[in-house]
Structure 1
């Protein structure tokens, strides 16, 4: 039950975001948004992933990690239901509410791995990350077919995303009821974490790989639709790259976690992501499935390795929560610039060459950050 609830909760960490991009054209037309305004939907959500992550240590100390996770699932359900009602303000508000819950859950999950599976960190990190990317893949693949099958508009499809969140909450409820909320006396290692260079290497890696990921999550279907593919086929390409990430993110943490250093894995993942970007830039309609596979392997490995390093470096769950809060909060604020910047560059340049070349520059910085973040180090336990 613990593993099943943990996995199902992880499945809910991306559909609220990934389910937007295949329907983005319809949403923009219905609500009356510009390309920059359409990109801002994802940007708002990713900003919330960064800004509200620091709430997690406060909630975890007051009500416990397990109950914090349960609360996050319920708020996701509320947010995706709200944004499908009416008007641009409500669209952004509901998206922000769902993303705030995801932010709290993002920070909680590595600490839950450390708390409940201390001898299986590598394996359970792989399970966690593979479920996250599986949720993204399923949502990006199914939102358009579900819309066609049900006759719903994008608003109804958005509300349907509340169903898996509520199911996960129901499954996690017994664990939350057993969990203790007496975390007030838990160690508070923020000062030690913030002062460590390791923290900022990991934060840079987390932010840059998230930026390059969310750019593709937000704009890849649009890129291919403008190249001539129907909306459903463009969504399938995004789904393919996300599906590839499932297997990659399950295997890579198990392999990389056995070694003292993860440098070769992190650098290799960045290079593969860059090759995927190049394929989309230079020959998007030539074997597009191949570019999606390469991109998926690179992005899946990058994400999994960033979260594995967050779980491995600290000595205890409280330090994991602190490092996770810093790395994911700052990292996602950086990542939030990506979709908005790509939308702006597309708008002013009239094409996708300038945005994709900019993405390649960001990937060069990601590889450099990974070189330093992947080296062995330990953040010690501190009661500050």
Structure 2
């Protein structure tokens, strides 16, 4: 999926590129996670039902699922740098539309920013492969840590900002625009480039990936991780409020959960790089998620512990699922096909999570049934992680022009 690396940039330009990448990463999760702490106020303002409120988390996921397979086509026509710039501009525009106006603006703005995040989400890893081929693990870790810290900071600051400004939910939610604004400012010098993420060959259409059991195991691992994450991101403050926590404490724990999810990025890369088989680590981090959800179901008063445990477990499984997209593939094109499959199907599954949890809450009158479902699905994720962690790759397509019949990467 990557073409030849560009000439080595001067140190100043390289530093600006790294800063731009990190700021883009900061803008990819904070606008979504920031809404959960102020969701009760939004619901009261617009008289939204639980399922309607869940759509505010689901709409970006639906755009991720729909746009992930075609995002690389946009970069082929417009250039990678310009497409990323336009994507982050959409994120900023969506935040502005979402924060001011009637209820339809809330949903329209959410779809706009989801579109921008979906495009950038797919293209940013390609940029890292192209410009930092020898530092992918380091840059991926920095990218994950930055994304987690930005998301955690926004979650923790929402309620204090609302109290400090006395403006309700609108102004605090609008402050998320600072991330895309900063990213756009730093990214401007990159617009001189007009490069793509591919080498001119057709986009990957590896049908073998969609028929591979291993590819579906990787997809299930990522999809279940995303399902659980977005259910917790969308409803964690509400779950804690029902357990007796104040809005301020619930928002702080929401932030703690997310910043804990950034921590594994500092350690997991070097550990996995030394392993040929990732079954054990996939099992351990998945079980941490199981323990956190079971604890939240049975002992919600220990929410500080469960916040950290879920953040570490879920953050680790996310990083592993991203690594599996490369480790389980036999070629860059096959990795691109697997990435498109896993993100499209995975985020489609994740989109079901928040509204389903809301509907189950309304039907059962509490959070025990939704959390019980999450515990069960996290158990399935353990199995998917162990299967996806085996030292195997998806079968390469055989080239009929090779008389020896040896496989050539597709």
TM-score above 0.5: yes
Question: How far apart are the structure 1 equivalents of 2:219 and 2:257?
Answer: 24
Q: Could you say which structure has the greater relative contact order, defined with CA pairs below 8 angstroms and 6 or more residues apart?
A: 1
The 8 Å contact of residues 140 and 239 in structure 1, kept in 2 or not, is answered as yes
Secondary structure of the residue aligned to 2:37 is helix
Structure label with greater radius of gyration:
2
The 8 Å contact of residues 25 and 143 in structure 2, kept in 1 or not, is answered as yes
Deviations 1:306-353 (A, max 9, x none): 112224444665544433222111100001111111101100001111
Question: How far apart are the structure 2 equivalents of 1:139 and 1:317?
Answer: 35
The answer to whether 1:140 aligns with 2:161 is: no
Are residues 117 and 99 of structure 1, via their aligned partners in 2, closer, same or farther at CA, if it must alter by over 3 Å?
A: same
Deviations 1:171-194 (A, max 9, x none): 122223224259582342222543
The 8 Å contact of residues 270 and 302 in structure 1, kept in 2 or not, is answered as yes
Higher mean C-alpha displacement, 25-34 vs 312-321:
312-321
* Mapping for residues 253-272 of structure 1, pairs under 5 Å: 253-272=269-288
RMSD: 2.1
The answer to whether 1:231 aligns with 2:250 is: no
- Other-structure match for 1:56: 71
Shift of residue 204, structure 1, vs aligned partner? 1.1
Higher mean C-alpha displacement, 73-82 vs 150-159:
150-159
Question: How far apart are the structure 1 equivalents of 2:107 and 2:58?
Answer: 10
Shift of residue 46, structure 1, vs aligned partner? 1.5
User: How many aligned residue pairs are there?
Assistant: 383
TM-score w.r.t. structure 1 length?
0.94
The answer to whether 1:365 aligns with 2:380 is: yes
TM-score w.r.t. structure 2 length?
0.88
Are residues 182 and 278 of structure 1, via their aligned partners in 2, closer, same or farther at CA, if it must alter by over 3 Å?
A: closer
Structure 1 residues without counterparts, runs of 5 or longer:
none
Deviations 1:97-143 (A, max 9, x none): 11111111111222222222222222222112222222221111112
Shift of residue 86, structure 1, vs aligned partner? 2.1
* Mapping for residues 328-367 of structure 1, pairs under 5 Å: 328-367=343-382
The 8 Å contact of residues 220 and 381 in structure 2, kept in 1 or not, is answered as yes
The 8 Å contact of residues 72 and 197 in structure 2, kept in 1 or not, is answered as no
The 8 Å contact of residues 76 and 165 in structure 1, kept in 2 or not, is answered as yes
- Other-structure match for 1:111: 126
Are residues 66 and 314 of structure 1, via their aligned partners in 2, closer, same or farther at CA, if it must alter by over 3 Å?
A: farther
